[in-house]
Structure 1
Amino acid sequence: MRKIVYYGFISVDGVIEDPPVFVHDFDEMMRENLGEVIGTQDTVLIGRGGYDDWAFHWPTASEEPFASFINNVRKVVVTSTPLKTEWKGAEVLAGEPGESLTERLAPLREAPGGDIGVHGSVSLAQSLLAEGLVDELALVMTPYLAGKGRRLFDGAPTGALELQSARTSPTGTQLLRYTVRKAV
């Protein structure tokens, strides 16, 4: 079964909404870390709000390595409202009314392929965590207190995370990789 890997910027106080508020320095080590994470992904899940924002920005963006990646990867948009998928590689996740996110994602997770990434998309990330669908967290924790904004783990069930790696970049940012332990 394919892994779902959440990659996101997070402030020390857990905020993931509006990263420009708390991400001020993006150093080479952070860029390499991003390259490692996206290097294993061939599909990205995006929420509707994220799609609307990103489809406007990324097709003409030049921030590498993410621009080339996101513009060429398969993008699966999780939405219940009609969507014109004009961005290359974008498609809507099909599902039946009343179907859980777990049920809707099952065919995608069971299909062959690389990791399934989630980048940004706060509401989607929170829903995936709440349903126990995130297998790994790749967190880029900046040394800033955002003070306000939506937090990644709001609504998430309690549970243990197993640290895979922790590195500190020259700008003091923590590059953290965790496996999410599933409740038995």
Structure 2
Amino acid sequence: MRKVIVSEFVTLDGVMEDPIWTVPFNTDEQNQHKFEELLGCDALLLGRVTYEGFAAAWPKTGETNTVVNPVRDFSIPEGFAERMNTIPKYVASRTKTPEQMKWNASLIQGNLAEEVLKLKQRPGQDILALGSRELVNTLMQEDLVDEYRIMVFPVVLGSGRHLFKDQDQLKTLQHIATKTLRSGAVELTYRPAK
């Protein structure tokens, strides 16, 4: 069965919102690592807000292989943007219609947990969930996340939307790996404890 892998950027104090704060720490090492992660999957699972942001940015990025932003532009590995633009995307949204789906995307219709479970049962590589805070929290509550890859950046924002919302159900995770990048960012990998 395919795994759902949640891959997130967070600050030291757990904020994930508007990750422009990652740019000063961006390196070729990080970009190559994230590209390899993307190559290990053959589908993206996205919430509406993340889908809209990505769909607006990645086609332009594919023209130059350069990420353009207000902090500093940076290059990404050859093929990264092409992979992002061509990989199938499954979007969870209560406001979008199937006709509004562009950028190689399909709207998840019906019960989210049931539809994600169907995706997991299809043959293929793993499914990568990026950003998409509301979606990730729903997947976690439904025990549909097989692995968490949380890249923590040495930044404290003090406010902003946190990756994990308050919930009344304890979730225990098992540490699998730690990868320290030269920039000071650290990727922590966890799986749900059995």
1:138 alignment partner in structure 2? 149
CA contact (8 A) 1:22 1:145 kept: no
Q: Indicate the residue corresponding to 2:128 in structure 1.
A: 117
1:169 partner letter: L
1:76: how far off? 0.6
Shift of 1:155: 3.5
**Moved segments of 4+, more than 3 Å:** none
Aligned counterparts of 1:52 and 1:86: Cα–Cα separation in 2: 10
CA offset digits 1:15-72 (Å, max 9, x no partner): 1111113542112331232123212110001111122222111111124344222101
In the alignment, does 2:106 pair up with 1:91? yes
Q: Mean Cα displacement is larger for which, 129-138 or 25-34?
A: 25-34
State the distance in 1 between where 2:33 and 2:149 align. 9
Instruction: Report the equivalent of 1:173.
Output: 185
Q: When you count helix as a share of all residues, which structure comes out higher? A: 2
Please report the TM-score for the alignment, with normalisation by the length of structure 1. Answer: 0.87
Alignment RMSD: 1.7
Quote the Cα distance in structure 2 between the aligned partners of 1:57 and 1:32. Answer: 19
Alpha-carbon distance in structure 2 between the residues aligned to 1:72 and 1:137: 24
Q: Partner letter of residue 44 of structure 1?
A: L
Deviations 1:100-159 (A, max 9, x none): x22121211111111110111121112212222111011110001121111112145423
Partner residue, 1:25: 25
Distance 1:149 1:18 in 2: 9
Q: Report % sequence identity.
A: 33
**Candidates 86, 99, 102, aligned match of 1:72:** 86
Tell me if the contact between 2:42 and 2:126 (Cα under 8 Å) persists in the aligned partners: yes
What TM-score do the two structures reach when normalised by structure 2? 0.83
Number of residue pairs the alignment of both structures matches = 177
Question: Are the counterparts in 1 of residues 13 and 156 from structure 2 also a CA contact under 8 Å?
Answer: yes
SS of corresponding position for 1:106: helix
Q: Distance in 2 between matches of 1:158 and 1:103?
A: 22
1:76 aligns to what SS in structure 2? Answer: strand
- Provide the residue aligned with 1:153 in structure 2: 164
Which structure 2 segments of 5+ residues have no match? 68-75
Letter in 2 for 1:68: E
Q: Distance in 1 between matches of 2:32 and 2:54?
A: 22
**For 1:128 and 1:24, how far apart are their aligned partners in 2?**
31
Judged with a 3 Å threshold, the aligned counterparts in structure 2 of structure 1 residues 27 and 151 are, in CA distance, closer, same or farther, namely same
